[in-house]
Structure 1
Amino acid sequence: MTKVLRTCGAILLLAMASQAAADLYGYVDEKGVAHLSRVPLHEGYYLFKKEPPEPLPEEPRAVIPVFPVPAAARDTRINPAHRKHYGPLVTAVAREHKLDVALLHAVITVESGYNPKAQSSKGAMGLMQLMPETARRYAVKNIWDPRDNLNGGAQYLRDLLVMFNNNLSLALAAYNAGEAAVVQAGNEIPPFAETRSYVPRVLAHYDSYRVLGTWPKAISKF
């Protein structure tokens, strides 16, 4: 009974952060981590919340956190050739998923530096550094395929913006640390050094791209 209560409580916390979403399915894994999905990914998921979808704003609102960007955290690994080649595809995917183009470019700048073969020590892969579980959640067929990777990451980012009521800082924190970590931190940026460095770095690039519009704009075939 205690386990059931803990499970329901974990799902409830995530659902409270998802007031703008439509149908929500909940699942708590063997480690006690709560997960939400718009569709049941396996028989362990169950319908937890059903609401009519609400209209989304055209662009997310940036909420600037109080954490400064340390000099050591500035991005120096961007490959100009990769950026030029994949930039148009990033722009196209952002528009397909109704994301701010500058925002998606900013996330990729920090996540992978436009390197489609980037892989982290934790197992995140590709342009948007998808974890295998996230790739499965969004039906990514080939995590190393740039378009598949971008589509999965863009959908995830869009869902996080919905989940956290368009609070950009929290959505970015969740992209880095996971949505459960943000909820468990009381809908605040979790106290992880990596996440508290990540969020202002992405926002700094986002502001730069919005002002300068320096991403590649021409759409090419891939």
Structure 2
Amino acid sequence: MRAIILSLIWLAAADATADVYISIDAKGGYVLSNVHRPGRHYERVISEPVAQAGAANAQLITGRPYADVVAAAALAHNVPQALLHALIKAESGYNPKARSPAGAVGLMQLMPDTAREMGVQDRLDPQDNVQGGARYLKRMLKLFDNDITLAVAAYNAGPDAVMRRGAVPPYAETQRYVPSVLREYRKLQGLAEN
């Protein structure tokens, strides 16, 4: 039976745009997922091709402001360029001098403590800011087992708020922010309409 399931998965692999994992649940059934959850043993059956992961829709990404800065940060911290661009658009609208009333600044709207923790010397320097934001995003992705929805929610509301609920917190800003970032991310991957 497993061979049949794996054969079906491989047939679909040509259209795959994410890693796919398989595990066996308590009743012996197969569980397919694109998210590696803690407490389960998974076997990766489809790996996202590196070319697709970083450049699913290269024209949309390379035409963005700070494309070289974002590409370098994405490569250095192994995070998707498209996700960094989606966060920057939501956080600052690509304004490197953006400042929030709460004290966040720069392209990725880093708070002073977060910037210090991520080794950022100058929050208003686009390169330093994006490197710090990418480093922080990577931390959120690791913390939430590569669940992009929860990592994006944590980027906005803080990891404690997400961990307390195990879901996107019910804050109005975060409830608007997460779908907006994910929509832009899918668009930049070529998975949604422009």
Q: TM-score, normalised by structure 1?
A: 0.57
List per-residue Cα deviations over 1:99-153 (Å, max 9, x = no partner).
Answer: 1111111111111111100011111110000000100111111111111111110
Give the drift of 1:184: 1.5
Shift of 1:95: 1.6
Q: Which residue is 1:199 aligned to?
A: 178
In the alignment, the residues of structure 1 paired with residue 65 and residue 190 of structure 2 have an alpha-carbon distance, to the nearest angstrom, of 22
Match of 1:166 in 2: 146
Matched with 2:114 is: 134
> Partners in 1 of 2:74 and 2:80 — Cα distance?
6
Which protein has the bigger helix share? 2
> Within 1, Cα distance between the matches of 2:182 and 2:158?
18
Tell me which of the two structures has the higher relative contact order, counting C-alpha pairs closer than 8 angstroms and 6 or more residues apart: 1
Structure-2-length-normalised TM-score: 0.65
Task: Quote the offset at 1:19 in angstroms.
Answer: 6.1
Query: Does the 8 Å contact 1:58/1:98 carry over to 2?
Result: no
Work out the CA distance in 2 between the residues paired with 1:195 and 1:181.
11
4+ runs deviating over 4 angstroms: none
1:86–1:173 CA distance, 2 compared to 1 (3 A):
same
Q: Which residue, 72, 82, 86 being the options, matches 1:102?
A: 82
Write the distance in 2 (CA, Å) between the matches of 1:124 and 1:153.
12
**Percent identical across equivalent pairs?**
50
Q: Equivalent residue for 2:189?
A: 210
Please show how residues 79-98 of structure 1 align to structure 2 within 5 Å: 84-98=64-78
**Secondary structure of 1:211 counterpart:** coil
C-alpha RMSD of the superposition = 2.4
1:61-94 Cα offsets, whole Å, 9 max, x none, are xxxxxxxxxxxxxxxxxxxxxx754122112211
2:83 counterpart SS class: helix
Structure 1 residues 84 and 161: CA distance shift in structure 2, 3 A: closer
User: Structure 1: where are the runs of 5+ without partners?
Assistant: 1-17, 21-56, 60-82, 213-222
Counterpart CA distance in 1 for 2:163 and 2:152 is 13
Q: Is residue 188 of structure 1 aligned with residue 167 of structure 2?
A: yes
Q: Which whole-Å CA distance do the structure 1 matches of 2:181 and 2:93 have between them? A: 12
Partner of 2:98: 118
**Counterpart of 1:177 in structure 2: which amino acid?**
A
The Cα offsets for residues 20-68 of structure 1, whole Å up to 9 and x where unpaired, read as: 9xxxxxxxxxxxxxxxxxxxxxxxxxxxxxxxxxxxx879xxxxxxxxx
Alignment partners' CA distance in 2, 1:121 and 1:163: 27
Query: What is the match of residue 179 of structure 1?
Result: 159
Structure 2 residue ranges without an equivalent (≥5)? 1-36, 40-46, 50-62
